[in-house]
Structure 1
Amino acid sequence: MARRIVELLRNPLAIAGLAIVALLVAGELLSPGFASQRQIITLLKVAALLGIVAAGQNLVILGGREGIDLSVGGIISFSAFLAGNLMQQQDAHLVQGVTLVLAAAFAIGFVTGLGVTLLRIPPLVMTLGMLGVVQGGLVLLTRGVPSGRAAPMLGRMVGEPLVFGLPGILFIWILIGAALTLVLRRTTFGYNVYAIGTNEAAAALAGVPVRRTRTLLFALSGLFAGMTGILLLGYTNYVFVGAGDQYMLPSIIAVVIGGTSLAGGSGGYVGTMAGAVVLVLLQSILTTLNIPPFGRQIVFGATLLALMLLYGRQRRLRG
């Protein structure tokens, strides 16, 4: 029995599940109604936004080589702005707007990937530079003035019940989770991702297209960030500069809470989904306690530092 408990506590997904239950209980004690069905659905909508951008972050981190994408916040903001201006509250422009935004976000991530693979720029430096470029371009385009509105159909899909009282954004998130898990565990591309994350040199010797795979990982990260920007527009119904900034740090923490090693080559997306729920619950409880935004940032930063210490230990053990 004791051995089973120890094994359970070594499973990041199990720990995340226990954390979700504990946070729901704590939230209900602090604020009755916190764990009500309506409130849980609202929290899951927020978690879905974080979880979708974390999907791309998950891929980049799995690919190893200190891979972290710091540009996702800027891409989310840019995508929300572009989608709002392409749609202009017209359902007729929804498909065109979504297609163009996703293509633009994929292209930004692809350029980032080329910088990392062809120019050998460290991922942190390259993605931070791309973040500056995207944010600067967004300020230039908007001049600090929000513009653009979501198509009504997008707003209904994100916010209104679709089936079983659940909004469409949750079904999109579940679909992404199932597809990404299938790709990582059952396709050649997924095997390649784990291979380059575990040992890039050995993967190259085995014939894995390392550069092409890593470039695609950053492109997909941009794609998921773009998708998050579109859904965020549907959630808020309008665009504001810096809308995606709040997702950069939590998207990294969600991935690591879910059991993906920052050293790469180990982990999966189901854990990341649980990690996103944990973070949203934690943020909601901090808000309930009237902790100001800077306090919440301190908590998230401390959490990331603790995880980095654990990552350092994992790396030494792997070495």
Structure 2
Amino acid sequence: MSAVLDFAKRPLVVAMVLIVALLFVGNVLSPGFASSQQIMRLLIVAALLGIVAAGQNLVILGGREGIDLSVGGVVSLSAIVAGNLMSGSDAGIPLAILACVATGAFFGLLNGLGVTLLRIPPLVMTLGMLGVLQGLLVVIRQGIPSGRAAPALSQFVTQPLLFGLPGIIWLWIVIGIVMAFLLARTVYGHRIYAIGSNEQAAWMAGVPVRVIRVSLFVLSGVFAAIAGMCLLGYSGSSFANVGEQYMLPSIIAVVFGGTSLAGGKGAYTGTMAGAVMLTVLQSILTTVNIDESGRQMIFGATLLVLMLFYGRGRAMRA
């Protein structure tokens, strides 16, 4: 019985149960909510959130109250960069990919250097970077939608590619496998857990703490940039604040997935389930006509509740 209870308390199990329950509730409120077509649309939206949350997961695992609040700005900027480089042409996709990855890595590098070399708290550093990105977006586009997704990108994100699943879902699966291998089977992953659990002990053991912490912010920026490009393919065009919707949910997905905000314990599998759960919840809130401000209030309250239960206390493994 004890083993069964421990299994039932795992974040991944809790998330799966909640996903099924939310689908049932959604289907009661709106018949057809749990249809195969609707579930596929929800998975596409969840993949966008899950890709952003991958980088967020790494930063949080690294400890020192690490949270990347700039991911929304990176998503928005990357979507605009990709859209303007493509301008509706498939020929612009390779250059757009390189530019987006470079953009995300650059701002992630600035975050990492600010946190490690200047000793600025991650929350302050990334919040300041978010303000810089928002101002940059206003200067560049002044809130006017710009750029168009290439047809191949839109098809990759929204149309079946293999076994009836769109390309973005396969991309998310690959990211999940890579993340699981990275964290569980590599020296780099073990070092992330080490500095998240006890940074001083990791440093004394010879772990290059600063280099790894900078790399976590770089990866967070890269994942956010990839999500921004995929978001462009999903929506067809981009606008200045398109990425703002991902900042808070990406943190909630990580915490709900069992990663402690104190760092050092957690896994990406739970984060993936958390992203699906949040997407289903957001769809239900939209179905019952709760506006964006109401949804943000609910997400904020959800994060506070999760932190109260296990965000800082006994971390649960996925």
What TM-score results when the alignment is normalised by the length of structure 1?
A: 0.96
Alignment match, 1:297? 296
Alignment match, 1:249? 248
1:315 offset after TM fit, Å?
A: 6.5
Give the Cα–Cα distance (whole angstroms) in 2 for the partners of residues 224 and 152 of structure 1: 22
- Contact 2:262/2:312, CA 8 A, preserved across alignment: no
Structure 2 counterpart SS, 1:314: coil
Aligned pairs (5 A) from 1:196-235 = 196-235=195-234
Give the Cα–Cα distance (whole angstroms) in 2 for the partners of residues 134 and 179 of structure 1: 29
| 2:206 partner amino acid | G
| 1:117 partner amino acid | T
Alignment match, 1:11? 10
1:49-95 per-residue CA deviation (whole Å, 9 max, x = no partner) reads 00000000000000000000000000000000000011111111111
1:205-258 per-residue CA deviation (whole Å, 9 max, x = no partner) reads 000000000000000000000000000000001011100000000000000111
Give the Cα–Cα distance (whole angstroms) in 2 for the partners of residues 129 and 311 of structure 1: 28
Return 5+ residue gaps in structure 1 as ranges: none
Alignment match, 2:169? 170
Give the Cα–Cα distance (whole angstroms) in 1 for the partners of residues 133 and 312 of structure 2: 35
1:5 offset after TM fit, Å?
A: 3.6
| 1:289 partner amino acid | V
1:156-215 per-residue CA deviation (whole Å, 9 max, x = no partner) reads 100111112211000000000000110111111101100000000000000000000000
Structure 1, 169-178 or 135-144: larger mean CA deviation: 135-144
| 1:217 partner amino acid | L
Alignment match, 1:189? 188
| 2:155 partner amino acid | R
Give the Cα–Cα distance (whole angstroms) in 1 for the partners of residues 42 and 276 of structure 2: 8
Give the Cα–Cα distance (whole angstroms) in 2 for the partners of residues 191 and 249 of structure 1: 27
Structure 2 counterpart SS, 1:148: strand
1:299 offset after TM fit, Å?
A: 1.0
What TM-score results when the alignment is normalised by the length of structure 2?
A: 0.97
Alignment match, 1:179? 178
1:22-74 per-residue CA deviation (whole Å, 9 max, x = no partner) reads 11111112111111111000000000000000000000000000000000000
Alignment match, 2:86? 87
1:286 offset after TM fit, Å?
A: 1.1
- Contact 1:263/1:311, CA 8 A, preserved across alignment: no
1:69 and 2:92 correspond: no
Aligned pairs (5 A) from 1:119-198 = 119-198=118-197
Give the Cα–Cα distance (whole angstroms) in 1 for the partners of residues 51 and 249 of structure 2: 12
Alignment match, 1:32? 31
- Contact 1:19/1:278, CA 8 A, preserved across alignment: yes
| 2:32 partner amino acid | G
1:97 and 2:96 correspond: yes
1:240-291 per-residue CA deviation (whole Å, 9 max, x = no partner) reads 1100000000000000111111110000101100000000011111111112
Structure 1, 195-204 or 99-108: larger mean CA deviation: 99-108
1:312 offset after TM fit, Å?
A: 6.2
Structure 1, 249-258 or 98-107: larger mean CA deviation: 98-107
Aligned pairs (5 A) from 1:39-50 = 39-50=38-49
1:8 offset after TM fit, Å?
A: 2.4
Give the Cα–Cα distance (whole angstroms) in 2 for the partners of residues 311 and 285 of structure 1: 25
1:4 offset after TM fit, Å?
A: 3.7
| 1:194 partner amino acid | Y
Structure 2 counterpart SS, 1:241: coil
Identity %: 62
1:263 and 2:262 correspond: yes
1:111 and 2:110 correspond: yes
Structure 1, 167-176 or 145-154: larger mean CA deviation: 145-154
| 2:98 partner amino acid | T
Give the Cα–Cα distance (whole angstroms) in 1 for the partners of residues 114 and 209 of structure 2: 14
1:296-317 per-residue CA deviation (whole Å, 9 max, x = no partner) reads 111101101111212465179x
Give the Cα–Cα distance (whole angstroms) in 2 for the partners of residues 229 and 64 of structure 1: 26
1:144 offset after TM fit, Å?
A: 2.0
1:116-174 per-residue CA deviation (whole Å, 9 max, x = no partner) reads 00000000000001001111111101122221111111011001111122110000000
Give the Cα–Cα distance (whole angstroms) in 1 for the partners of residues 9 and 310 of structure 2: 14
Give the Cα–Cα distance (whole angstroms) in 1 for the partners of residues 112 and 311 of structure 2: 25
- Contact 1:62/1:265, CA 8 A, preserved across alignment: yes
Structure 1 outlier segments of 4+, above 3 Å? none
- Contact 1:8/1:15, CA 8 A, preserved across alignment: no
- Contact 2:73/2:241, CA 8 A, preserved across alignment: yes
- Contact 1:149/1:239, CA 8 A, preserved across alignment: yes
